[in-house]
């Protein structure tokens, strides 16, 4: 079984072409690990522009979000 660190994402992994909604657990873990490492290395917050707040001031987006990094 291939783990998320070795997994290679393809277009079939994305639900309706949304880069943050994935069709499998291993794809979701791969994206989560990559997002965490990218944000952590830059000391930045992640803003999901497809679903959720686009910045710290986006109150409507915050209401739609189910998570926050």
- Residues 31 and 19: beta-carbon distance below 8 Å: yes
Residue 8 or 1, more confident? 8
- For residue 5, is pLDDT > 90? no
- Residues 13 and 34: beta-carbon distance below 8 Å: no
Model pLDDT, residue 26: 95
Q: Could you tell me if residue 56 is inside a domain?
A: yes
Model pLDDT, residue 69: 47
Question: Residue 42 is encoded by which pair of tokens?
Answer: 């830059």
Q: Could you tell me if residue 6 is inside a domain?
A: no
Q: What mean pLDDT is predicted for residues 14-25?
A: 90
Regarding pTM above 0.85, the answer is no
CA atoms of 1 and 54, how far apart (whole Å): 36
Tokens 């710290």 found at:
56
Model pLDDT, residue 45: 78
Model pLDDT, residue 2: 80
Query: Structurally, how many domains does the chain consist of?
Result: 1
Domain that holds residue 45: 11-64
Identify the DSSP state of 45.
-
Q: Could you tell me if residue 29 is inside a domain?
A: yes
């Amino acid at each position: 079984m291939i783990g998320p660190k070795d997994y290679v994402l393809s277009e079939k992994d994305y639900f309706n072409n949304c880069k943050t909604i994935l069709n499998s657990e291993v794809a979701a873990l791969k994206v989560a690990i990559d997002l965490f490492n990218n944000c952590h290395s830059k000391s930045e917050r992640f803003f999901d522009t497809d679903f959720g707040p686009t910045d710290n001031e986006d109150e409507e987006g915050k209401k739609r979000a189910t998570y926050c990094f």
